[in-house]
Amino acid sequence: GKPVCECNTCYDGPDCSTYIPDCPADANSGDPMFLEPYWMQNAASSALVVTGWHRMSYIFSDHSYTSQELEKSIRRLHSIAGNAVTEGKYIVFGTGSTQLLNAAVNALSLYNSSTPSKVVVSIPFYPDYEVQTELFATEHYKFYGDASLYKNSSDDSTNVIEFVTSPNNPDGKLRKAIFNGPSARAIHDHAYNWPHFTAIPHPSDEDLMLFTLSKLTGHAGVRFGWALIKDKTVYERMSTYTNENTFGVSRDIQLRALKLLNVVLDGDGRSIFKYAYGTMRNRWESLSKTVSLSTRFTIQDISPSFCTFFQNVRGPSPAYAWLKCEREEDDICYKVLESGGILGRDGILFGASSQYVRLSLIKSQDDFDQLLQHLKKLVLQEDGAT
Question: Which residues of this protein are in contact with ligand PMP, per CB under 6 A?
Answer: 30, 96-98, 126, 165, 169, 189, 191, 212, 214, 220, 225
The least CB distance from residue 337 to ligand PMP, in Å, is 20
Cα–Cα distances in angstroms (integers) from residue 212 to residues 95, 246, 290, 291, in the given order: 9, 18, 31, 31
The least CB distance from residue 201 to ligand PMP, in Å, is 19
Q: Which residue, 147 or 191, is less far from ligand PMP as judged by CB?
A: 191
DSSP string spanning 319-370?
SEEEEEE-STT--SHHHHHHHTTEE-EEGGGGTS-TTEEEEE-SS-HHHHHH
Q: Which residue, 101 or 160, is less far from ligand PMP as judged by CB?
A: 101
One-letter amino acid for residue 281 of the chain: R
Q: Which residue, 121 or 378, is less far from ligand PMP as judged by CB?
A: 121
Q: In this structure, are strands 225-229 and 208-212 parallel, antiparallel, or unpaired? A: antiparallel
- How far apart are the C-alpha atoms of 89 and 229, rounded to whole Å? 5
Cβ neighbors of 310 (< 8 A, separation 6 or more) are 195, 199, 277
The least CB distance from residue 128 to ligand PMP, in Å, is 6
Within 10 A of 380 (CB to CB), how many other CB atoms are there? 12
Q: Which residue, 222 or 372, is less far from ligand PMP as judged by CB?
A: 222
Q: Which residue, 29 or 373, is less far from ligand PMP as judged by CB?
A: 29
Q: What burial letters (b/e) apply to 316-334, b meaning 16+ CB within 10 Å?
A: bbbbbbbbbbeeeebebbb
The least CB distance from residue 220 to ligand PMP, in Å, is 5
Half-sphere exposure of residue 48, counting CA atoms within 13 Å on the CB side? 18
The least CB distance from residue 126 to ligand PMP, in Å, is 4
Q: Which residue, 357 or 378, is less far from ligand PMP as judged by CB?
A: 357
Q: Which residue, 132 or 157, is less far from ligand PMP as judged by CB?
A: 132
Report which residue's Cβ sits closest to ligand PMP: 96
User: Residue 213's closest CA among 176, 262, 286, 174?
Assistant: 262
The least CB distance from residue 224 to ligand PMP, in Å, is 7
The least CB distance from residue 88 to ligand PMP, in Å, is 24
The least CB distance from residue 326 to ligand PMP, in Å, is 26
Cα–Cα distances in angstroms (integers) from residue 368 to residues 52, 193, 352, 359, 364, in the given order: 40, 22, 24, 10, 6
- What radius of gyration, in Å, describes the C-alpha atoms of the chain? 22
Q: Which residue, 249 or 325, is less far from ligand PMP as judged by CB?
A: 249
Quick check: 66 and 93 in contact, CB under 8 A?
yes
- What angle in degrees, to the nearest 10, is found between the helix axes of 251-265 and 68-81? 40
